[in-house]
Structure 1
């Protein structure tokens, strides 16, 4: 039985346990005068029966599935001669792949006579593991359901016990999220430390040349690698700033219009049309930027007498990216403005303020924390965008603040460095992790600034 099938079977047993547990609580309550004699509602008795039937069994499945591959692999490899195990990790992995292929019959075992016995052992261990997992899981599930059936009684505090289980589940979910974040940070941090062991930290942070490739000639800039990240961060901030200059005014003005001025018919048409922009794939925006916006920008500035305008420019990428993130600002700002209590508006009107004055001096300051959240989300989206920059701004790591020149961003370089087969002992590849760490720190600082603004105004208008 496959693991997915086993999980579905356990879930079916859980549903059956819920139904039987609920029916048993009702039956036990009938001689006592009905369900009003129960400590909790019948649904809670059914839920507790489902908990005892499903959770222990699913824990067994998760633990067994997570450990069986490691245990089986170690057992099989331990039976091989030292000539197969006293080698590099990649060669050991290749050997085990051959054993698995022999087990599956995809390769002829006569080519590797020393591995035939290991393949047979792998087959036996796999079958035994599957049988043991299925048997233990079903036994635990049935025993849990039987225990829940026997302990069901009118005095059972089913609701408090289920709420404890629910609270534990929520705590587990939050803990998983926290540890996932910590794992991401540590994985990036450790690889970044390896990078900084080869490249000095200050050369990376304050360097002005980015050329991680190994050059053919010694007189080239990248002969030993140039890992100055300043051009990447300048390009990232330049494109993000252009995008925000487009998205924030347009998004805020559209949100104010939709929430304060537009009637319900106009709002019902315009708001969904704006939100459609968020559903367009970024590669489509990239095509639009490369084929339409970039030529328009170049032709416009050449038409007014500016020569040397690049076909790939930060301005073209930033304008299209700004259009893409308008819904993030508009939709969130609209929801926040609508959430401002009408009592604030009525008080302003009662003091003689006009509609525009009320919006500017009362509604907007009260909604500022939520608006800042929308702007921060839009900024994070702009900083993390890759496809539009690749197609419209290019890959050149130029240190410039001229929006008419080609630039690149941190995310584009990360994607470029990790494309294809990479050797993770090379500073070129490890540079991607260092860039990711610096991008994480930059985003964290933006969050801190935004949260300070939100906290200040929330205390004032709560």
Structure 2
């Protein structure tokens, strides 16, 4: 039974449990001629929660543990002789998983039964051709040991899925019957239901924290492995980025960091002034009819796919800057440049600044505006001396969001700025960013066992630390300014 089927069964059982619990509470109250402690719906919710929540938790835990146990068992079956020279065991395990997944498709396509895997009708001599028929292409002949490991992997996975279905549905039924039998008119069903919901809310609120902790932990773990293979001093102080997967790599971060900050700075120089002026105009000058049309039109910019912006930079903006500015001034001959990517990225993040700043400016109390006008201030003076200082924390937050969006952008940089890692002040030269190189280092059939692949995690952790530092600095500045203003 698939995971989707199990989830559907749990939902159906929860709905049935709700109506059974509600009906049992009403019948018990009528039989004993007493008043229910809680509304009938709470009794139904209690049964439904006992049916669904523990079973869902068991399902999630099982889905995490089962693959680890199966791969650990199958990995022990693979002798060192099937590991290619210079290769990694995890690559062979990837083949095992691919073959195991293809065997189901082969059996369904050919109409063969499970016995075909053991009686020789589907053995290692013909499995490669059979897998090719269902779209599973293998680069070389399949060793007997790998094929046997794949069959074991498949059988273990099928057995695990069956046991998972039995355990999860059994847990749902067992706890549902237990909750149903506990229903009585004096039962505090509302308290039970609300405690369940409270625990659910607490669990949901911790997801972001746990996710962040998991991301940071994975980055730190892989970064430590990288620095065991490559000197940290060369990574942080070298000005050359030249990865060579066959050895002799130079993995200095400064060219990538410079390109990231340079392109992001150009984007912010475009987006922040324009976005703030748009927000001020829409909030204090534009009529309601114009605002209702202009704001959604501007926010459409945020919904355009970044690949479209990249193509616009590559086909239109880049050639224009090259032909009309860079070449006449002798500053460059390439259509891919920092200025190309920065201008297009700045247009893309304008809505992040304008929309959020507009909402923040509108949230400033009208009484502050009226007080300023009563003191004889003009509208422009009120905006400059009252509204913008009051809205500064929110505006800084909008700028930080735009900056984070610019720092993390990839497609516009690939198509608009190129992939050259260099230190240069010329905005008409091609450069690249940290995010682009993270993608390029992890693209293809690579294994996380060399400095050239593990460097992606070091780059990611460095970018995370820089972004965190910018946020802390901005928070400090906002608090200082707020204290002075108050």
TM-score calculated relative to the size of structure 2: 0.83
Indicate the residue corresponding to 1:219 in structure 2.
none
Match of 1:42 among 35, 40, 43: 40
Are the aligned partners of 1:100 and 1:122 in contact in 2 as well (CA < 8 Å)?
no
Map 1:129-148; keep pairs closer than 5 Å.
Answer: 129-148=160-179
Cα offset, 1:42, TM superposition: 2.8
Are the aligned partners of 1:99 and 1:115 in contact in 2 as well (CA < 8 Å)?
no
Residues of 1 paired with 2:408 and 2:83: CA distance?
43
Residues of 2 paired with 1:130 and 1:211: CA distance?
46
Residues of 1 paired with 2:300 and 2:359: CA distance?
16
Cα offsets for 1:290-327 (capped at 9, x unmatched): 11111221223257644535322111110110000000
Indicate the residue corresponding to 2:379 in structure 1.
355
Cα offset, 1:383, TM superposition: 0.7
Are the aligned partners of 1:369 and 1:453 in contact in 2 as well (CA < 8 Å)?
no
Indicate the residue corresponding to 1:256 in structure 2.
280
Match of 2:448 among 424, 443, 446: 424
Map 1:235-384; keep pairs closer than 5 Å.
Answer: 235-302=259-326, 305-384=329-408
Cα offsets for 1:75-110 (capped at 9, x unmatched): 5677x5967899945446645765676677568226
Structure 1 residues 91 and 19: alpha-carbon distance in aligned structure 2, compared to 1, 3 A threshold: same
Structure 1 residues 75 and 432: alpha-carbon distance in aligned structure 2, compared to 1, 3 A threshold: closer
Indicate the residue corresponding to 2:129 in structure 1.
none
Greater Cα offset, 190-199 or 125-134: 125-134
Residues of 2 paired with 1:329 and 1:385: CA distance?
16
Establish whether residue 109 from structure 1 lines up as the match of residue 123 from structure 2. yes
Indicate the residue corresponding to 1:17 in structure 2.
17
Structure 1 residues 141 and 460: alpha-carbon distance in aligned structure 2, compared to 1, 3 A threshold: farther
Residues of 2 paired with 1:304 and 1:252: CA distance?
33
Are the aligned partners of 2:327 and 2:333 in contact in 1 as well (CA < 8 Å)?
no
Residues of 2 paired with 1:226 and 1:319: CA distance?
31
Residues of 1 paired with 2:283 and 2:354: CA distance?
10
Greater Cα offset, 168-177 or 83-92: 83-92
Structure 1 residues 117 and 230: alpha-carbon distance in aligned structure 2, compared to 1, 3 A threshold: closer
Establish whether residue 175 from structure 1 lines up as the match of residue 206 from structure 2. yes
Cα offset, 1:447, TM superposition: 1.0
Cα offset, 1:195, TM superposition: 2.3
Cα offsets for 1:379-432 (capped at 9, x unmatched): 001011111111111111121122122211111111122221224332222222
Match of 2:253 among 194, 217, 229: 229
Structure 1 residues 283 and 95: alpha-carbon distance in aligned structure 2, compared to 1, 3 A threshold: closer
Greater Cα offset, 69-78 or 416-425: 69-78
Residues of 2 paired with 1:226 and 1:77: CA distance?
34
Residues of 2 paired with 1:202 and 1:77: CA distance?
37
Greater Cα offset, 292-301 or 376-385: 292-301
Residues of 2 paired with 1:73 and 1:191: CA distance?
21
Establish whether residue 193 from structure 1 lines up as the match of residue 224 from structure 2. yes
Residues of 1 paired with 2:433 and 2:222: CA distance?
20
Residues of 1 paired with 2:177 and 2:360: CA distance?
51
Residues of 2 paired with 1:172 and 1:284: CA distance?
38
Residues of 2 paired with 1:176 and 1:207: CA distance?
38
Cα offset, 1:116, TM superposition: 8.4
Q: For 1:109, what is the secondary structure of its paired residue? A: coil
TM-score calculated relative to the size of structure 1: 0.87
Indicate the residue corresponding to 1:453 in structure 2.
477
Cα offsets for 1:131-175 (capped at 9, x unmatched): 433333333222222222222233322222222222222222333
RMSD over equivalenced CA pairs, Å: 3.1
Residues of 1 paired with 2:75 and 2:235: CA distance?
43
Residues of 1 paired with 2:418 and 2:33: CA distance?
78
Unpaired stretches in structure 2, ≥5 consecutive residues: 108-116, 126-142
Are the aligned partners of 1:77 and 1:96 in contact in 2 as well (CA < 8 Å)?
no
Residues of 1 paired with 2:124 and 2:421: CA distance?
54
Cα offset, 1:117, TM superposition: 7.8
Structure 1 residues 146 and 84: alpha-carbon distance in aligned structure 2, compared to 1, 3 A threshold: farther
Indicate the residue corresponding to 1:53 in structure 2.
51
